[in-house]
Amino acid sequence: MAFVRIIPLADAEPLESQLKSIRTTGTDTFHLDALVDTSILQFQIDLEIYKPIVIAFKILSSENLSLLPYIVKRCKIPLFAKIWKKKGKENSEQLSRKLTIDEVFENIWYRAEHDWFNLCKKLRSGDLTFTEFNKWFKTRDPGELRKELLLVDNGVKAKWVDERIYQVKNFDILRNCIYGAKVIIRVVNEFELKQENFIQIFDISKVEHVEDTSMKSLDRDLLETCSILREITKEQADCLEELIKCASLVKWLRDTMKGGLKELQVFVDLASISAGEGDLEIAKVNCLHSATTGYAPLIFSLGNDCDAKEFLEKCQDVWKDLDINPQLPKKLSDTARQLKWLKSVKKCHGAIEGTTLSQAEAINKKGVYRVGNLTNTPLLENPVLSDVIELRVPHKEGRSSSKDRYYRYEQLQDLQSRLMLVTGKEEKGKDDVERFMLILDSVVRLGSIYQKLVSNGCVLFSHWCIQIICNPSSTVCAFIQFRSDQESQSISTRMDEENKDISLVLQHLARFLEQCHSKWLDNIDQTRDTYFCLTYFTIDQIVILQKELVKAETDGGPSPLIFHLLSAVKKGCTKQDLAKAIASIQTTVQTGNNGTSSKANANSTMEKSSKNIKDVKETYLQKIDESSFASVLEASRKIRPNDIDRERCTTNEDQLMESPRTTLIQTQANPTSVSIKESLISRLDIQSREETIKEVLETLEELWKMFLSSFTNGVSDYLSVEHLGMILNKLAETGLNDIADLNIFIYFKTNI
């Protein structure tokens, strides 16, 4: 019996006994008058509307017995079944015993029916709160929920069912939106944004205890308003909450850094400088950089008149950083605790700014740059920028004193970096900084190309030095010297209408030196084409050979390490091999000096050497063809490697022994690189006069052309590239003779 099954907390033993008796007897043998009241059958009745009166259960009144079909039908609805069981459990616990059948009808049925009626009424109207709804409906699956709600109206579709499902579906969204809305409103109030621009968010934030609000209050208009906040997660809202907690830091950043993110980056760099190398200080700077950069859109880009849409766009930028760096709120909190330290850094920043700007101003007014050979070193070897750039700022203009301030290249770089940090947000000192930067960039460009010229062996500039006057009111802006002593003549440069600042003049000079460097490399390439042995060496190695081979017949001689380089053209080259090579080309050089082209003579010499090698090979091959191996071996014993061109080599060696200083070096003994440069400058008739940069460039161009022609024959302290090529070719010639002999012995070993 269904009734017995649906009242588990009631004492149904009497009913169960009667039911068991009926089942035991069987309905076929059980008397009908024991089941129903048959007295009514004595009268004529309409069988269509006849309902029998059950009398089998004596303990049930006829009224209660008539209610049983309704109870069974109701309990098939899950919602009513929950109410029915809940009421039964409450009454049983209250009486501390099972209920009687009559108590079930009196205390459970009528109350459950009453609660059921009220609950259905609230469901249909939407007056049911979300707390009550969650109490009776545990599922959130839209399909299952729809089935349960439809049973309230006996399975008939109703509009209210769709409304309740929509509201339940958006309930969690609303709950998150309310939390986010309240945080946003606190941001609006804390940072004094216009409240009228956030009306919708204010409406959402006014929803208190969303669980206790009626379902109908969650209408579509409110949910559409929530759509602007529906994507906000609790983590994102907490990120904004941390911004409110750190309001003092945010306001300080806004007040002190009007330049926004750009000035913040400068401040971070200065804080990094102030931090030094300590782990704790470095951690502070990293935390500052990460936190302030992540929150920058809300710190610097948020105006007081922004609306909700613009505000949320700024928030999205912050939340993107939050996704990458979940510790962003904590870092902002840690940075806020260091506000006192940040203020001290800012104060120090102001002092650095003043000092740095005053240095730039002093340099622009009194500074004197020197670029070139600063120490009058005979030959600079692989100079770096710190070797060729110097700045002096005199304590008193026109005088040198111990109070003068000197800057090397590294110090100028540091000053430049500090100027880049402290400028940009104010106009004060901006012109001085820009002029300092222009001049320094031009000076560095000039120093860089000078460094390349010297490193590549262009001796015209080995003692070159330019003095640059930064004072804009000075008539003369630069002095160009080709020797670093005071007696050397100099080329003075003055301003003109077209070039009104020293930075422009320096750009012209740098461009000229760059052209010289390009022409110098072209000259070396052309010489390589004539003297092929030069191709075995890099430019740096050629410069080393030029400096060392010129010492070949001095008392000290070249470095022993030089012969390792020369082995590239003459295997196992010795000092004697080098001396012979130098002696053998002496006549060629002298002939060239008397009017014959040295390059032509060099080519002729190489052609002769090639012919000699060919003759040697042919002689040996002929011997092999005509004789047996024994006769060839005998011939090889008579012809030694040193026998090739022995007569000529012996003659040169005798001359070398008789007059060891009558060599190629001697032909260069008188002039030096310095003396030739001074001679060239004297020939240009440079007087102590001031010239425009255009006139100076014309003078320098003429000097360059004279240098290229004069240095072809070399000087006593620096071997020319051509002479070096001739020596290398001569060494290669003897090396080829050795190769010819080696090939012959290979023939012997293989029994050819």
Residue 151 has a pLDDT of: 81
Strand order in the sheet with 476-481: 405-408, 389-393, 368-372, 465-469, 476-481, 490-494, 690-691
Residue 378 lies in a domain: yes
How far is Cα of residue 375 from the mean position of the Cα atoms in its chain?
41
Task: Residue 128: name the closest of 14, 30, 213, 2 by CA.
Answer: 213
Q: Are residues 351 and 295 in the same domain?
A: yes
What whole-number distance in Å separates Cα of residue 644 and Cα of residue 742? 13
pLDDT band with cut points at 50, 70 and 90 for residue 149: confident
Residue 338 lies in a domain: yes
Q: Are residues 384 and 490 in the same domain?
A: yes
Last residue of a domain, one of 467, 497, 527: 497
Q: Are residues 415 and 367 in the same domain?
A: yes
Residue 391 contacts residue 404 (beta carbons within 8 Å): no
Residue 466 lies in a domain: yes
Give Cβ neighbours of residue 38 (< 8 Å, ≥ 6 apart): 32
Last residue of a domain, one of 362, 381, 414: 362
**What long-range pairs does 228-234 form, CB within 8 A, spacing at least 24?**
228/200, 228/201, 228/308, 228/309, 228/312, 229/176, 229/177, 229/180, 229/181, 229/184, 229/201, 229/204, 229/312, 230/173, 230/176, 230/177, 232/176, 232/177, 232/180, 233/176, 234/176, 234/179
Whether the pLDDT of residue 716 is over 70: the answer is no
Q: Are residues 320 and 391 in the same domain?
A: no
Last residue of a domain, one of 341, 362, 383: 362
pLDDT band with cut points at 50, 70 and 90 for residue 187: very high
SS (H, E, C) 407-434: EEHHHHHHHHHHHHHHCCCCCCCHHHHH
pLDDT band with cut points at 50, 70 and 90 for residue 638: very low
Number of domains in the chain: 2
CA dihedral (559, 562, 564, 569) in degrees, to 10, reads: -150
Residue 331 contacts residue 292 (beta carbons within 8 Å): no
What residue has token string 């809305």? 181
Residue 691 has a pLDDT of: 81
Determine whether 410 is exposed, middle or buried from the number of CB atoms within 10 Å of its CB (0-12, 13-18, 19+).
Answer: exposed
Q: Are residues 243 and 354 in the same domain?
A: yes
What whole-number distance in Å separates Cα of residue 581 and Cα of residue 398? 55
Residue 385 lies in a domain: yes
| Mean pLDDT, all residues of the chain | 75
Q: DSSP state, 10?
A: B
Residue 322 contacts residue 236 (beta carbons within 8 Å): yes
- What value does the mean pLDDT take over residues 294-303? 90
360 phi, psi to nearest 5 deg? -60, -40
Whether the pLDDT of residue 413 is over 50: the answer is yes
pLDDT band with cut points at 50, 70 and 90 for residue 12: low
Residue 427 lies in a domain: yes
Q: Are residues 432 and 492 in the same domain?
A: yes
Pairing label, strands 465-469, 490-494: unpaired
What whole-number distance in Å separates Cα of residue 591 and Cα of residue 601? 8
Question: Which structural domain range is residue 389 located in?
Answer: 363-497
- What value does the mean pLDDT take over residues 368-393? 86
Residue 670 lies in a domain: no
Report residue 626 as tokens: 């005509």
Q: Are residues 351 and 391 in the same domain?
A: no
Q: Are residues 347 and 301 in the same domain?
A: yes
Q: Are residues 369 and 491 in the same domain?
A: yes
Report residue 347 as tokens: 């104060």
Q: Are residues 483 and 394 in the same domain?
A: yes
What whole-number distance in Å separates Cα of residue 160 and Cα of residue 381? 94
Residue 2 lies in a domain: no
pLDDT digit string (tens) for 319-367? 999 999 999 999 999 999 988 888 887 777 666 666 788 888 889 988 9
pLDDT digit string (tens) for 499-552? 778 888 999 999 999 999 999 999 889 888 888 888 888 888 888 888 888 887
Residue 326 lies in a domain: yes
Q: What is the helix (H) or strand (E) element at residue 22, kind and residue range?
A: helix 13-25
- What value does the mean pLDDT take over residues 553-573? 83
Q: Are residues 333 and 379 in the same domain?
A: no
Q: Are residues 411 and 486 in the same domain?
A: yes
